[in-house]
């Protein structure tokens, strides 16, 4: 899923940024595999964003819709894709950041 990003206000540099980018690439593939919409939602122009906080073992501490699509079913499918993709074991250097600031997933990608 392109568009994953750290929450506002975070600035990563050097090796931490590379580590974060690799981590996001892995998550992108996992979540995309579980992003399945029913046919009646497939061609909709809806968009949503989900904020996910992850603990050091990769379990989800919190997930919530940060930007709603306005359609509860669409939003629920986004949350379901996140839940079905867990765990998200983070590299050690990112654990604190991911537990406190999290990751924003954009649906669709």
pLDDT tens across the length of the chain (109 residues):
545 554 444 456 666 788 888 898 899 899 999 999 999 999 999 999 999 999 999 999 999 999 999 999 999 999 999 999 999 998 878 888 899 989 999 999 7
Q: What is the pTM of this model?
A: 0.82
Q: Which candidate, 55, 63, 54, places its Cα nearest to that of 82?
A: 63
Cβ pair 44, 56 in contact under 8 A: no
Cβ pair 18, 94 in contact under 8 A: no
Round to whole Å and give the CA distance between 33 and 100.
Answer: 26
């Amino acid at each position: 899923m392109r568009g994953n990003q750290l929450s506002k206000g975070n600035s990563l540099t050097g090796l931490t940024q590379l580590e974060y980018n690799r981590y996001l690439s892995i998550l992108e593939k996992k979540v995309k595999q579980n992003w399945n919409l029913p046919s009646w939602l497939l061609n909709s122009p809806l968009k949503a964003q989900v904020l996910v906080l992850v603990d050091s073992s990769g379990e989800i501490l919190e997930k919530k819709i940060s930007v709603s699509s306005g359609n509860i079913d669409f939003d629920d499918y986004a949350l379901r894709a996140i839940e079905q993709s867990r765990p998200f074991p983070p590299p050690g250097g990112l654990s604190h950041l991911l537990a406190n600031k999290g990751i924003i997933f954009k649906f669709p990608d």
